[in-house]
Amino acid sequence: MSRKILLVSGALTAALALGGCATYRALPLADHAQLADRVGNLKHTLPAPTPRANPVRIDVDQPLSVDQIGLLAILNDPQLRTERGESDLAKADLTQSAMLPNPSVSLSYAALLGGPGTTGAFTASLAQNVASLVTYRSRVSAAKAHVSEVNAQLLWNEWQVAQKARLLAVDLYWGERSIALSAAELASLSREEADIRRAVDAGSMSLSELGPLQASKASAEHTLATMQLDQLKNWQDLDALLGLKPGVTFAIAQPVVPSVPDNLKALIASVPARRPDLVALQLGYRSADENVRAAILGQFPAFVLGGAWNADTSDVRSAGPTATFDLPIFDRNQGQVAKTRATRRLLHEQYQSRLDDSVSTVLSLQARSVRVAQYLAQAKGSAATAESQADAAKAAYEQNNVDQRTLTDYETTALQRRLDVIDLERGLAQARIALALELGLGLPQTRMAPLDSSR
C-alpha cells in the first residue's frame, strides 16, 4: 500500500511540475532593414491619452511643426524599440522577486531483502525555507519600485529623442532660409561679375574692378557650401531618428517660439514631480532603500522548517517536525548590508546632483533666452538699415555715383545682417525649446513608443 501511495504521489508531482513549465517559441531575427522611404510610411497615429479618447493622427501631408516632428521621432525611432525588452526585463525581475522558494519533498523506500523485518522501510519529509518569508515584502517592494523606475527612465529616453528631433527641425528650417539667402547673394554676385567681365573685355572698365568682386564671390561660395553640408548632415541625423532612409526630406513649418513662463519659480520648485529622469532617480532610490531593508532582514539565518514521516522494516511508524538552520557566526550578511547602503548613498548623491544641475540649467537658459531676444530685436533693426543702405548703394551705382567695390561691400553687409537675424531666430527657438524640456513641459507625460517593431 505504501509503495502504491509513493508511486501515485510521485506521478502527481511530476504532472504538476510539467503542467506549469514554459514552452519554447521561436523569435526569428529580421532579414532586412525596416527604414521607410517617405514620411507617409511612418507611424503617425498617437495613442489615445485616455481610454475613452480617440487616437490622434498627425497629418504628414502638410508641413510638420517642430512638436509634431518630435512626436514622430518617439513613434518611429529605431533605438526606442528596445524599450519593450527593457520594460519586460524589469517586469520579469518583479515576477522573480515575488516567487517564494518551492517546498522541498524527500521520498525514499527500502525494500526488505532479508532479516527479522516484516515490511519495507519508507521515509517521507516536507520542508520549507522560512528565511525567505522574512525578506519577501521588502524584495517585492524594491522590484515594484524598479519597474516604475524603468518606465520613468524610458519616458525620459523618449523625451530625449523628441528633443533631439525638435532641435534638428529648428536647425533645418532656419538653415534652409540661410541657404536661400546665400544662394540669392551668390547669384547676384555672379551676375555682377559677368557684367563687369564684359565691360573689362570691352575696355570700359579696368581689371582692378573685377578682383574684389571675385574675392567676394569665392567667399560666398565657401559659405554656401558649408551651409549645405551642415544641412545635409542635419537631414541625415533627423532621418535616422525618424527611421527614414537617408536623403528623405519633407516640409517643416516655421517654428513657434515658446514664451518664458511667468511662474518660473513655481515651475522650478515642482520640476522633481514632472521630469521623468528625476522621477526615475526617486524611484531608484526607493528601490535601493527597500534593498537595504531586505539586506538587514537577511541577517536572519537560513531556516528550513518541515516535517518527516517514517516507517521502518518492523512496521514501526513515527512522525515529527524538522528544523535546519545556519549558525550566524561568520556570515551575518554584512557584505550585502554594506553594498546596499553604499548603493543607496550613491543614488542619494546622484539625485541631488541631477536636481542641482536641472535648476542651474533652467536659470541659465532663461537668462540666455532673454539676452538672445534682446539681441534679436537689435539685429532686426540693423538688418533693416543695412538693407536700405544696400538699395541706396545699388541705385547710386546705376547712376555711376559709387564704384562696384562699394556696392559689393554694402550688399555683403546686408546679407550678413540678415544671416545674423536668422542665427538669432534659431538660437532663441533652441533656447526656449530646451527651457521647456528642463521644466518638464511640452512633451507627453506617458510613454508613447509602440511595443512592437512592425509597421
Position 16 in a domain:
no
Q: Which amino acid is at 109?
A: Y
Position 257 in a domain:
yes
Q: In whole angstroms, what is the distance from residue 128 CA to residue 377 CA?
A: 77
Residues 6+ apart with CB under 8 A from 240: 78, 246
> Domain tally for the chain?
2
Do 123 and 106 lie in a common domain?
yes
Closest CA to 129 of 106, 105, 102: 102
Do 344 and 410 lie in a common domain?
yes
Do 285 and 358 lie in a common domain?
yes
Residue 253 — φ and ψ, nearest 5°?
A: -75, 155
Do 341 and 404 lie in a common domain?
yes
Do 247 and 277 lie in a common domain?
yes
Q: Which of 315, 332, 349 lies at the terminal end of a domain, its last residue?
A: 332
Distances (CA, A) of 333 to 124, 133, 285, 295, 299: 33, 16, 21, 7, 5
Position 43 in a domain:
no
Residues 6+ apart with CB under 8 A from 157: 80, 83
Do 375 and 283 lie in a common domain?
yes
Averaging pLDDT over each range in 11-15, 316-320, 357-361, which range is the top one? 357-361
Do 317 and 337 lie in a common domain?
no
Position 108 in a domain:
yes
pLDDT above 90 covers what percent of the chain? Answer: 51
Instruction: Look at the chain and count its residues.
Output: 455
Do 339 and 327 lie in a common domain?
no
Residue 244 belongs to domain with CATH number: 1.20.1600.10
Q: In whole angstroms, what is the distance from residue 292 CA to residue 340 CA?
A: 5
Owner of C-alpha cell 542619494: 348
Position 197 in a domain:
no
Do 382 and 434 lie in a common domain?
yes
* Domain encompassing residue 346: 63-99+138-174+232-298+333-444
pLDDT in tens, 68-112: 999 999 999 988 877 778 888 898 989 988 888 888 999 998 888
pLDDT for residue 56: 87
Inform me whether the pLDDT recorded for 227 exceeds 90: yes
- DSSP characters over 31-84: SS---BSSGGGS--EEPPSSTTSPPEE--TTSPBPHHHHHHHHHHH-GGGGGHH
Position 187 in a domain:
no
Do 396 and 409 lie in a common domain?
yes
Q: Which of 314, 332, 350 lies at the terminal end of a domain, its last residue?
A: 332
pLDDT in tens, 180-218: 999 988 888 888 888 778 887 787 777 777 777 788 888
CB 234 within 8 A of CB 247: no
pLDDT in tens, 414-453: 989 999 999 999 999 999 999 999 999 988 888 887 755 4
Do 314 and 361 lie in a common domain?
no
Which is higher by pLDDT, 198 or 147? 147
Position 449 in a domain:
no
Report, as an integer, the average pLDDT of 136-157. 92
Do 236 and 319 lie in a common domain?
no
pLDDT for residue 179: 95
pLDDT in tens, 278-337: 999 999 999 999 999 999 988 888 888 888 989 888 888 899 898 888 888 888 888 989
Position 433 in a domain:
yes
